[in-house]
Amino acid sequence: MNNLNNIDKAFLGKITGIVQDRLSNEMFGVSELATELGMSRSNLLRKVKRITGL
């Protein structure tokens, strides 16, 4: 993950911020995160997997 470009770093930072803001909401999940990011759940998962290798 050390070889991330600035766009990928910004994307992961955005995800991290959204998740931290919603930690107290037990109804918040991957689908809600994808909606907030304006993308489909499957595209979100694909992109995170590509960036992180996880």
The amino acid at residue 40 is S
Per-residue confidence (pLDDT) for residue 17, from 0 to 100: 98
Burial of residue 48, with CB atoms counted within 10 A of its CB: 0-12 exposed, 13-18 middle, 19 or more buried:
middle
DSSP H or E run through 54: none
Per-residue confidence (pLDDT) for residue 2, from 0 to 100: 65
pTM exceeding 0.95: no
Longest Cα–Cα distance of the chain, Å, equals 33
- Report yes or no on 31 lying in a domain: yes
- Report yes or no on 1 lying in a domain: no
Per-residue confidence (pLDDT) for residue 52, from 0 to 100: 92
Q: Please write the tens of the pLDDT for every residue from 1-54.
A: 568 899 999 999 999 999 999 999 999 999 999 999 999 999 999 999 999 998
- Report yes or no on 29 lying in a domain: yes
Per-residue confidence (pLDDT) for residue 1, from 0 to 100: 59
d(CA 44, CA 32): 11
What's the domain range around 45?
6-52
Per-residue confidence (pLDDT) for residue 16, from 0 to 100: 97
The tokens for 39 are 């993308």
- What domain count does the chain have? 1
